Structures are given as C-alpha cells and as structure tokens.
Amino acid sequence: MTDILHLDATAQADLVRSRDISPSELVDAAIDAVERINPQLNAVIHERFDKARQEAAGELPDGPFRGVPMVVKDLSLEMTGDPIHEGTTYLKRLGHTADHDTELAARFRRAGFVVVGRTNTPELGILPTTEPRAYGPTRNPWDPGRSTGGSSGGSAAAVAARMVAVGHANDGGGSIRIPASECGLVGLKPSRARVSLAPDYGDVMGGLVAELAVTRSVRDAAIVLDAVHGPATGDPYDAPPPSRPYRDEVGADPGKLRIGLTSSLGGTVAQPECVAALDAAGLLLESLGHHVDASHPTALDDPAYTGHFLNLWAAGNAWAIDYWVRQTGVPLEPGDLEPASQALVDLGRSISGPDWLWAREWLQATSRRTLAWWDDDGWDLLATPTIAEVPPELGSFDGDPDQPLFALFRAGALVPFTPQFNVTGQPAISLPLHWSAEGLPVGVQLVANRGREDVLLAVAAQLEAAAPWADRIPPIHA
C-alpha cells in the first residue's frame, strides 16, 4: 500500500478510476503515512483524519482527482469547521476555526481531492522558512537539520516525504517556489488572478499573492491548475483564459524558444551549487533545441526595488493582522507576534497611504520595463536559480532579540530571484533539476510572460522527460 503513495496524484486517480483501489484505501494509506512520518518532520499540524475518512467513504465529486488525498496550508485557505491559525500564536490562542469554505477549497473538493490535514507555515507566511513559534519547525526530509523553505514549507515536506502527492501552497514573494526548491518538488506560481482569492479577498497586498500547489510531477501541476483556475463572481480582474487545457501542454512541442539565463539579480549572486544547477539547466535546454544566452531584464537590477517592495510587503502584513483582529473581535496582546513579525507590522503601520501608493506605482512602472524584455526584446523564458543557496540550516533566521529585522534581511539574501515576479504578475515554476554534493535539492526557476503558463508547462515537461526526478526520494519518506 505504501508504494501507492510514491505515485503522483494523476496515477493515484487513475487507480481509483479503474477501481484497483478505493478512495477509502488511498486515504487510509495517506493517514497511515502521516501518522508514521510526520513526528519526524512536523509538516502536518492539524489532523483531519475522521473527516477525511467520512468524505472518502461518501459520494465524492467525479473530478480529475477523485479520492486522492492532499494537504492544505494553514494560511488563507479556509474550510468550514477546521482550524485556521496562519502560523500565529494569536489565532492558536483563540482556537480560531473557519465558518466557510474559500472558493479554492471548494474547487479542490470539486476536483475530488480529500484533505487529510493542514500544514505548518511561518507566522503570517512572512519568512522563507517554516519555523513558527506557534508550532515549531518543519524539518526537511532530505536532511532534518535543514529548512523546508517557506511559507509553504509544511506542504512541501509532506509531499516530498510521500505522505501525499499534492499540497496546497500560496506565494506572495516566492512561497510556492522556495519550498519546492528546498524539498525537490515542482512549484508553479500562476499568473496574477489565474486562481481566484474569493470570497474573502479581491487581491492581496496589491496583487502579490497567487494560489496553487506543490507537486512531484509537471502533469500534476498542469491538471491541478486546470481544476482550479478561472475567475469567481466579483473578482476585480482575471487572467486571460488558456487556449486549451493545461494538461495538453505536457508533452506538447513548444518550438525553439529564446531563453535568457542569469544567476545574479539586484547585486546578489547565487552560491556555486545554485549556479551549477542553472548552468546544467542551460545546457539541457540547448540540447532540447532552444536558444540559450546570458540575458535578463535589467530593470530588475534597480537598487530601489527592495525598498519599494518592502513597503508594499510591510503594509500588507499590517493589514493581514488587522484583518484577523477585525474577524475575531479580539485585540492582540503583547507578545502575540514574533519579534520579526511585530517589527514588520510596525513598519507597515508607519507607511502613509501616499507612500504606499508611490511604492505600488513605482513597482508597476518597473514591471512595464521588466516585461519589455519579453514583449519588445523577444525573449520567451527567463531561467534563474530559484533561491541563492542550498537549503539553510534550521535556526539560520534566528537573530539577536534586539535586531528583530535580522530575519527579514536574511530572507532577502536567500530569495533574490522570486519576489519580482509576484510584482509583475508573471507565472514562474521551480523544477528539481539538481542535487548538491550533500544530496540536497536545488531548484531552477523558469519565468514566462504574463498569462503564458502554457509555455512554462511545455518546457517543464520537456526538462522532466530529459532529466527525470521521480526516482529521487528523500531519506525520510513513507
């Protein structure tokens, strides 16, 4: 039964469809894996076993993933009656539970997924490591002394360790792609507004946040996107619809593309292992017939970028905690937030409305200059390391209590390649194409023009076929 959990979600769904296994058997196998493996990793923080068994035994929707178990991140996605604490001691102290399903939760259900648990996340999803004070660190199945990344680190650990094949994830500055890189997974961040944030939000943090999942195969990423994309009633805007199902891009010929490579943005240069990962990916792309050269949008090197992004990010996190205070009606108490979170929230509250609008306007203007590299200069994809380092050791983000912003500066050094594409709204994917000499996964990021997930998925599938990773299994696994 355990071997079934090494299959991707598409193969698991095929077994259910052919009646070689029942949804209940598949869900029981996942629950057994969580019970055995999770104590070593601390990926799943809220078990949902009884509800999952009831749902698997009942009438499941006949979606593409009927009966397939998954986990959902304890951030943003709400499910009626289930806890949602967003990595905070504040909401944990209140024992807060959701009173509705978000649109994405409903779409996951309609796709046939059965949720077996909710996964760990850093407080408010702020840091690119999953070590919240509220629930403790999630450990990397490739090396339990290492970070899983963040903020979807709990989902990534569960998927990498073969507890489940799909984990919900979201991304406001790299939070799908960073944990995918650190855990050896596929992490697709869709275009802005490709996946609805209804009913609670129109967009989040000025349009920075995107929702989807971490998976172990490109085809799973494509079919999950097929199942959940599209606008909901009242969305402020939506992404251009695809010309055909995303699953049809897997195995499709993308033609000969112009692909730029860079291992440095904004003055930050990636570590040698990450540069080696990118170089190897470039050679592989050339062998597949693509034109590859050193190039990138120079607008991304503007030194003012970080300050304007930080203003948008800080104000967004101040809004986020105020949102929960309004929802619960319970004020924060001293010490409810971690020092880094409190410092970021305090910074956000100090930013005036005009300053926030100036930051957003500056970033939008820079996005126009960035996208000209695709639209005017004729490039199809940009390839970078996903992050600038191999997975850091746990505790690397712990700083002097008198320097609460240390963790944020440490985060900036780790992730110079991901937040820019939340700002521009472009789709980007992290692929597990390299492992370090120590056996740690190192991701490579591909970025396409806005709305062009089709190009990303076609090239990602090419790379997966040329350099398959399915047989790479971490030491800690089901």
36: domain CATH number is: 3.90.1300.10
pLDDT, residue 2, reads 56
Query: What tokens does 59 get?
Result: 């009438």
Cα separation, 354 vs 271, in Å, equals 38
Q: Is 452 inside a domain boundary?
A: yes
Q: Is 151 a catalytic residue?
A: yes
Cα separation, 262 vs 265, in Å, equals 7
Number of domains observed in the structure of the chain? 1
Q: Please answer whether residues 383 and 284 qualify as being in contact, where contact means their C-beta atoms are separated by less than 8 angstroms.
A: no
Q: Is 457 inside a domain boundary?
A: yes
Closest CA to 307 of 176, 409, 445: 409
Which residue out of 76, 152, 155, 175 is catalytically annotated? 175
Q: Is the dihedral of CA 189, 410, 322, 319 positive or negative?
A: negative
- Which residues face 258 on adjacent strands? 291
Q: Is 135 inside a domain boundary?
A: yes
Q: Is 199 inside a domain boundary?
A: yes
* Residue ranges for the chain with pLDDT beneath 50: none
Which residue out of 73, 92, 152, 367 is catalytically annotated? 73
Question: Coil, strand, or helix at residue 241?
Answer: coil
Which residue out of 76, 92, 147, 151 is catalytically annotated? 151
Give, for 429, the enclosing helix (H) or strand (E).
strand 428-435
Full residue range of the structural domain in which residue 452 is found: 2-466
Pairing of strands 44-47, 114-119: antiparallel
Q: Is 249 inside a domain boundary?
A: yes
Provide φ and ψ at 211, rounded to 5°. Answer: -120, 140
Cα separation, 148 vs 112, in Å, equals 27
Closest CA to 288 of 120, 129, 466: 466
Q: Is 204 inside a domain boundary?
A: yes
Q: Is 314 inside a domain boundary?
A: yes
Q: Is 73 a catalytic residue?
A: yes
| CB burial string 26-43: b at 16+ within 10 A, e below | bbbbbbbbbeebbeebbb
Q: Is 175 a catalytic residue?
A: yes
pLDDT, residue 1, reads 52
Provide φ and ψ at 115, rounded to 5°. Answer: -85, 125
Q: Is the dihedral of CA 435, 159, 212, 460 positive or negative?
A: positive
Q: Is 473 inside a domain boundary?
A: no
- DSSP assignment, residue 416? S
